[in-house]
Structure 1
Amino acid sequence: METESADHLIRFRDGGFLDQPVETVPTDEITIGYTPRSDGEDTEYTKLLAEAADELPPILVHRPTMHVIDGAHRLRAAALRGDTHIPVRFFDGDRAEARLLAVAANVTHGRPLSTADRTTAAGRVFASHPHWSDRAVAAVTGLSARRVSQLRKHTPAARTGHRVGRDGRTRPVDPARGRALAGELLRTNPGASLRSIAAEAGVSPATVADVRDRLRRGEDPVPSRRPEPTAAPEPTAAPEPTAAPAAPADTRPPISLESRRRPARTPEPPPGPAQLLRIFDSLRRDPSLRLSESGRNVLRMLGACTLVVQDREKITATLPTHCKEQMAQLAHGYAGLWSLLADELACAATAEAS
């Protein structure tokens, strides 16, 4: 799993698990093994779940070990209520993937992981996947990429020459170093394939091809990044001042002092993709939605919209041509309904707050 991307775990967490069938499993067959929480079970949260009138949402279990990946508090709540069975969705990956998924799932909903637990989880990722990029580790652990970069400096993972991004692509940490290494490899083994040199230097085959062409022209493998100095423009004489034309008489009514002090209101821009995902994550963590059937229906609906936020360009590129016109009509129609719903929700929130 070292060279795989983190994106498949994120996609599974953000809705891919819904493709797994729900099975009813005896509670005594499931165990709480690895947990990313250092402080253990929150008994008050377990009691809150146990007192919920609705059926508990399915938990996520690692099938090979029958260990809970996500839902330890729900499993405890089921036992507290005396339930002998619990709904389960299974994950069939290996143990290392299950542990990473446990972290990724618990940073976004339910009772989120503490900052200390996320920091500890980042250290485990550095040990098992040292080549994962800062953004990939951040996506799994819920830390910022800047914080992940700071933590990496104190681990052996900081010495890796290339990183694997969320998309699975390998990129050099220092592009100049990768180009220089590719140049050395080409000089010592000019008959080697572009792919073999790219894999050894940690750069793309296209970069190796560019390095090869530069060597053939007698140029350095690493292009200079400093722009050529340009001559300063010749100073021009300042134009002679000319008398300003007389301003036409202002026939507009005088503006009051009060209106001058009040700045014009500008409409707030709609939230961008990143903000939409943050809002969805916040709603997904709300127990009042997760623990009711109507709330779970809303979250499932919003989860589908999240896929549009993440894969809009891919949907446009891969949708069959004969379906695109009908899809466009549906999208326009649904957009109008969403706008109507947004107005109704805003009015209702204002009325209830007053």
Structure 2
Amino acid sequence: MPLSRILVAATPRTGGEDSRHIDALTEVCAELPPIVIHHETMTVIDGVHRLRAVERTGASHINAVFFNGDERQAFVLAVRLNSNHGLPLSLADRKAAATRMLADFPEWSNRRLAEVAGLSDKTIAALRRRSGAENPHPTAVRLGRDGVAYPVTAAEGRTRALAFLAVKPDASAQEVALAAGISLTTAKDVRRRARAAAGAETTDPPDGGTSRGRGAAGRGTVQRARVRPGTPDLSLTVRRLAADPSLRFTEAGRKLLRILDVSAVQPHDWTAMASSLPMHCAPVIAELARHHAESWQLLAEELTERINSQETGT
């Protein structure tokens, strides 16, 4: 893309450009990923510092990719990209960006906005309350990170979930969430409370079975999983994936690599960690672990379905 055709307009960075960062990028211009340009306006969405670095070398062109969407969507992409890589946005910049997105997308959930801006959902909630007078919420629902519309008041969704569980008490949390139109976290909470009210166990066993009969045999099953032969070197696998440009230079790929880097723990590491963690934290951590396990299982199933579809030519 000719540099003469590219425009630099308002960005999420209220402090302007960082000359030291530009100096550092100038030394590695040949290795920089392409900048992102809003096709309609030809303004830079992501990569102003890269653009300045290339300008300093005297080049006339730069690698670029186009984004097709309106200006509101372009701003969201700019915030997301600048929060995920390169020179991070300051806390003040992220809060200012979140406030603007609250005005542009008041129907988005706190968690969805938090993921884009790199903030906590509690911070987004506080910003929403602060700007409530200027930006009243127009609907009774909010769009979550999964694109599903959830009611702002969760009471109705919980009522639907309880009604569904009354008919199908053994339903999984995912089934409850889909049937009632609530988040997976809320579905788990409703199911747990329903089981407690019925006198059942309040937590699910990790293997998906019942909590009864999990004596020596159950522990033996877990132990066999821990010492299972042929377990791959997860850290080495992640390093190989990180070297793949098709992952490194895409937003979804970079996000996955960050998650995998944190998750590259060997089975014996989990065993040592479990025996060292404080007991008062154990129930919460176990619940979080089950939640993440379910999320990974969903990803594995979707990827397997995609692989099978490709193999069968469908």
Residues 177-219 of structure 1, C-alpha deviations (whole Å, 9 max, x = no match) = 6799xxxxxxxxxxxxxxxxxxxxxxx99659xxxxxxxxxxx
Aligned to 1:106: 82
1:67 to 43, 48, 63: 43
Which protein is richer in helix relative to its size? 2
Deviation of the 1:313 alpha carbon: 2.8
How many Å separate the matches in 1 of 2:311 and 2:198? Answer: 54
The equivalences for 1:257-268 within 5 A come to none
Counterpart check, 1:313 vs 2:301: yes
The equivalences for 1:1-354 within 5 A come to 25-52=1-28, 54-156=30-132, 159=137, 160-176=139-155, 299=248, 303=253, 306=256, 311-320=299-308, 323=311
Aligned to 1:287: none
Letter matched to residue 303 of structure 1: G
Letter matched to residue 151 of structure 2: P
Letter matched to residue 312 of structure 1: A
How many Å separate the matches in 1 of 2:75 and 2:305? Answer: 34
Letter matched to residue 173 of structure 1: V
Residues 308-348 of structure 1, C-alpha deviations (whole Å, 9 max, x = no match) = 97733311234326849xxxxxxxxxxxxxxxxxxxxxxxx
How many Å separate the matches in 2 of 1:146 and 1:137? Answer: 11
Structure 2 CA distance for partners of 1:178 and 1:88, relative to 1, 3 Å: same
Report which of the two structures shows the higher radius of gyration computed on alpha carbons.
1
Residues 280-303 of structure 1, C-alpha deviations (whole Å, 9 max, x = no match) = 9xxx9xxxxxxxxx7968835993
Deviation of the 1:28 alpha carbon: 1.0
SS at match of 1:89: strand
Structure 2 gaps, min length 5 = 160-176, 182-192, 200-225, 227-234, 261-295
TM-score normalised per structure 2: 0.55
Structure 2 CA distance for partners of 1:295 and 1:80, relative to 1, 3 Å: farther
How many Å separate the matches in 2 of 1:321 and 1:76? Answer: 45
How many Å separate the matches in 1 of 2:198 and 2:158? Answer: 25
Deviation of the 1:149 alpha carbon: 1.7
Instruction: Tell me if the contact between 1:27 and 1:85 (Cα under 8 Å) persists in the aligned partners.
Output: yes
Letter matched to residue 320 of structure 1: N
SS at match of 2:130: coil
Deviation of the 1:81 alpha carbon: 1.1
**Overall identity of the aligned pairs, in %:** 38
Structure 2 CA distance for partners of 1:81 and 1:148, relative to 1, 3 Å: same
How many Å separate the matches in 1 of 2:64 and 2:87? Answer: 19
Deviation of the 1:132 alpha carbon: 0.3
Structure 2 CA distance for partners of 1:158 and 1:323, relative to 1, 3 Å: same
Letter matched to residue 129 of structure 2: K
Deviation of the 1:175 alpha carbon: 2.8
SS at match of 2:75: helix
The structure showing larger relative contact order (alpha-carbon pairs under 8 Å, at least 6 residues apart) is 1
Structure 2 CA distance for partners of 1:314 and 1:158, relative to 1, 3 Å: farther
SS at match of 1:320: helix
- CA RMSD of the aligned region, Å? 3.9
How many Å separate the matches in 1 of 2:308 and 2:244? Answer: 33
Aligned residues: 204
Instruction: Tell me if the contact between 2:29 and 2:53 (Cα under 8 Å) persists in the aligned partners.
Output: no
Letter matched to residue 299 of structure 1: R
How many Å separate the matches in 2 of 1:108 and 1:117? Answer: 14
SS at match of 1:119: helix
Structure 2 CA distance for partners of 1:120 and 1:92, relative to 1, 3 Å: same
How many Å separate the matches in 2 of 1:61 and 1:116? Answer: 24
How many Å separate the matches in 1 of 2:34 and 2:309? Answer: 38
How many Å separate the matches in 2 of 1:322 and 1:91? Answer: 28
